[in-house]
Chains A and B, each alone.
Chain A
Amino acid sequence: ETGVTQTPRHLVMGMTNKKSLKCEQHLGHNAMYWYKQSAKKPLELMFVYNFKEQTENNSVPSRFSPECPNSSHLFLHLHTLQPEDSALYLCASSQDQGPSYEQYFGPGTRLTVT
Chain B
Amino acid sequence: DQQVKQNSPSLSVQEGRISILNCDYTNSMFDYFLWYKKYPAEGPTFLISISSIKDKNEDGRFTVFLNKSAKHLSLHIVPSQPGDSAVYFCAAKSFISNFGNEKLTFGTGTRLTIIP
Contacts and interface: CB of A to CB of B under 8 A. Distances in A.
Contact of B101 (A42, A50, A103, A106): A50
Given A42-B4, A43-B106, A45-B104, A102 B99 contact: no
A55 B100 CA distance: 9
B34 A102 contact: yes
Interface string A56-75: 10100000000000000000
Interface string B94-111: 011001111111111100
Majority SS at the chain B contact face: strand
B41 A107 contact: yes
B58 interface: no
Q: How large is the interface on B (under 10, 10 to 19, 20 to 34, 35 or more residues)?
A: 20 to 34
A50 B100 CA distance: 11
A103 B34 CA distance: 10
A97 B4 contact: no
A81 interface: no
B99 A56 contact: yes
20 contacts: A6-B43, A42-B89, A42-B105, A42-B107, A42-B109, A43-B44, A43-B89, A45-B103, A45-B104, A56-B96, A56-B99, A92-B43, A97-B101, A97-B102, A99-B51, A102-B34, A102-B46, A105-B44, A106-B43, A107-B42
Given A56-B101, A99-B102, A105-B45, 12 more contacts: A6-B43, A33-B104, A40-B108, A41-B108, A45-B104, A97-B100, A102-B34, A103-B46, A103-B104, A104-B46, A105-B36, A107-B42
